[in-house]
Amino acid sequence: MSKPVRVRYAPSPTGHLHIGNARTALFNYLYARHHDGKFIVRTEDTDQKRNVEGGEESQFSYLKWLGIKWDEGADIGGEYGPYRQLERLDIYKKYVDELLDRGLAYKCYVTEEELEKEREEQKANGQVPKYSGVHRDLTPEQQEKFEAEGRQPSIRFRVPENKTYKFNDIVRDEISFESSDFGDWVIVKKNGIPTYNFAVAVDDHLMEISHILRGEEHISNTPKQLMIYEAFGWEAPQFGHMTLILNENRKKLSKRDEHILQFIEQYKNLGYLPEAMFNFISLLGWSPVGEEEIFSKDEIIKIFDPNRLSTSAAIFDPQKLKWMNNQYIKSEDAGRIEKLTLPHLIQAGKLPENMEDSRRDWAAELIALYKDQLNYGAEIVELTELFFQEEITYDEEAMAVLQDEQVPEVLKAFSEQLSALEAFQPDMIKGAIKATQKQTGQKGKKLFMPIRVATTGVTHGPELPDSIHLLGETVVQNRLSAAIEQLTK
C-alpha cells in the first residue's frame, strides 16, 4: 500500500510572500488536493538574524488571500507539531546526540577565521573550497584544550567516503552526486541551533512528508538531506525541483529586480483578483493539456499533473498577468469590482471617503463603465481621469480631429440638441447624437469623433452616451463651449 500523500511548504518568517515562494506553496497545495492528501505549512525560523516581526503572519495572510489553505500548521496545530522549528529544538537534540554517539557526527572547534584561511588556500591551489576535516578525529584531550580556550564547537556530519547519492526527481529524472563533492558539513551551529539541511530532514521524516516540490536552488541540498535519511535508516520522500522563474529578458527573477513586482502583497494592493493570481502562478512552470489558460481553482486541482511540470525555465510575463486579471474582472459581478476599485479613487483624492448616496451611485456607474477594460483595480484612477478634470488639454491626436472643417457646426448643433433634452440620460443623449447627424448631414467618424474629443478630451473610450451622461450636463456644455470658442477664434 502506497504512503498517504503529505506535502509541505516551509517558509522562513523573513518578510513578505515572494512570487517564487508563492509558486512553491501553490504547487504543493495542488499536489495535495489532487491526490486527496494533506498540505502542511511549517515555519523554518532557525535563522534568527533574518526573522522579522510579523513575518509568519504576513506569509499566512497572503497565502490565504491567494486561496491556499492548509491542514496543519503553527496557526491551526496538528498531530505532527510543533510546526515552528525553534519549538522543536529538543527533538533535534535527540537525533544529534544519536549521531554523535554512533560516530556519524563530531564536534568541530575550527574558527571562522581558520575556515576562511583554509578556503582561500584551496582557491589559490585551484581546488573547490570545502571543509578539510581537520577536526574530524580529535582526541578527548584536544577537545578539552579547545574548550579551555573558550572555543564553542559546531557539530559536523561525517560524510561517507566513495558514496554516490542518487534520487529520481519528479521533474528532472535521475540526479546523482558523489560524496567526495562535499566536505563534512555543519548540522548544529556554534549557537546550538541546527542548520537547515539537518532540521528539514528530521522534520520531513517525523511529519511523514511523502513528496517535496521546491525550487531548483535546493537540488544541491538534497544529497545532504539524503545523508541524514540514510544515517537513520529512514525512507526518503520523493523530490521534485521546479525550474527558475525568469523575467521577460530571461534573467533570473530577483528580489532586486524592480522591473517586475516581486511580492503578492503588491498585487493585492494594486487591485489584482486572487483567483487570477492563483491561475497565473499555477502556469509558471506547469502546463495543462490543450491551449486553454483560464481555469478555476477546482479545475486546476482536478487537472494538476506533476508529470507536466516543465524542465524549461518559467517566464514571468506582467502583460499576460494583466490580460488574465482583465478576463477575471470582466466576468466578475459589478459589486465586487466596485469594492476593488473605489478605495483607489478615494486614496487618489478623486472621491471623498464619506459619500452621499447619489455620489456613490455615480461612482458605481463610472466604475462599471470601465469594467471591461480594467486590468487591475488601481488602474481606475488613470482611466477615469477625464471625469475629474476641470479643464481638458487636447493632445496632438485630439487636436487633429478638431481641425476638420465640419467640427464647429457639429459641436454647435450637438450643444443645442443637448439643451433641448428633457433628461440627461444615455438613451436621450444617444438620440441627441442622431438628431445632430440629421441636422448637419455628418455621420461616422466626422460626427462621433469631434463630439468625443470635445466632451472627453480623448479619441478612444467607453460608450460615448454613457461617458457624456456621467460627466454631467454642466461639464459637457462648458467643454463644448470652450472647444467651439477655441475653434472659431
pLDDT tens profile 270-324 = 999 999 999 999 999 999 998 899 999 999 999 999 999 999 999 999 999 999 9
| pLDDT tens digits, 369-401 | 999 999 999 999 999 999 998 888 888 999 999
- Classify residue 404: in a domain, yes or no: yes
Residues 129 and 233 in one domain: yes
16 within 8 A of 263, measured Cβ to Cβ: yes
| pLDDT tens digits, 92-130 | 999 999 999 999 999 999 999 999 999 999 899 888 889
Query: How do 164-169 and 173-178 pair as beta strands?
Result: antiparallel
Binding residues for ATP are: 255
pTM score, two decimals? 0.91
Residues 428 and 344 in one domain: no
Catalytic residue among 93, 117, 255, 339: 255
- Classify residue 343: in a domain, yes or no: yes
Closest CA to 462 of 433, 426, 416: 426
- Classify residue 97: in a domain, yes or no: yes
Residues 231 and 106 in one domain: yes
Domain boundary among 309, 331, 353: 331
Percent of the chain with pLDDT over 90: 87
Residue 279's region, left for phi above 0, alpha for psi from -120 to 50, else beta, is: alpha
**How many domains in the chain?**
4
- Classify residue 81: in a domain, yes or no: no
350 is catalytic: no
Residues 101 and 70 in one domain: no
Contacts of 319 by beta carbon, 8 Å cutoff, 6+ apart: none
Residues 236 and 256 in one domain: no
Residues 63 and 146 in one domain: no
- Classify residue 82: in a domain, yes or no: no
Residues 360 and 372 in one domain: yes
Residues 325 and 275 in one domain: yes
Residues 201 and 211 in one domain: yes
Contacts of 206 by beta carbon, 8 Å cutoff, 6+ apart: 80, 91
Domain boundary among 344, 365, 385: 385
Question: Which residues form the domain of 361?
Answer: 333-385
| pLDDT tens digits, 169-219 | 999 999 999 999 999 999 999 999 999 999 999 999 999 999 999 999 999
69 within 8 A of 275, measured Cβ to Cβ: no
Q: Give the end-to-end CA distance of the chain in Å, rounded to a whole number.
A: 89
Binding residues are: 255
Residues 416 and 484 in one domain: yes
Closest CA to 39 of 83, 90, 89, 86: 83
Distance CA(213)–CA(169), nearest Å, equals 10
Residues 107 and 213 in one domain: yes
Q: What is the CATH number of the domain that holds 442?
A: 1.10.10.350
Contacts of 406 by beta carbon, 8 Å cutoff, 6+ apart: 440, 442, 446, 450
Cell of 303: 487537472
Contacts made by residues 227-230, CB under 8 angstroms, sequence distance 24+: 227/157, 227/159, 227/160, 227/165, 227/179, 228/157, 228/187, 228/197, 228/198, 228/201, 228/202, 229/201, 229/205
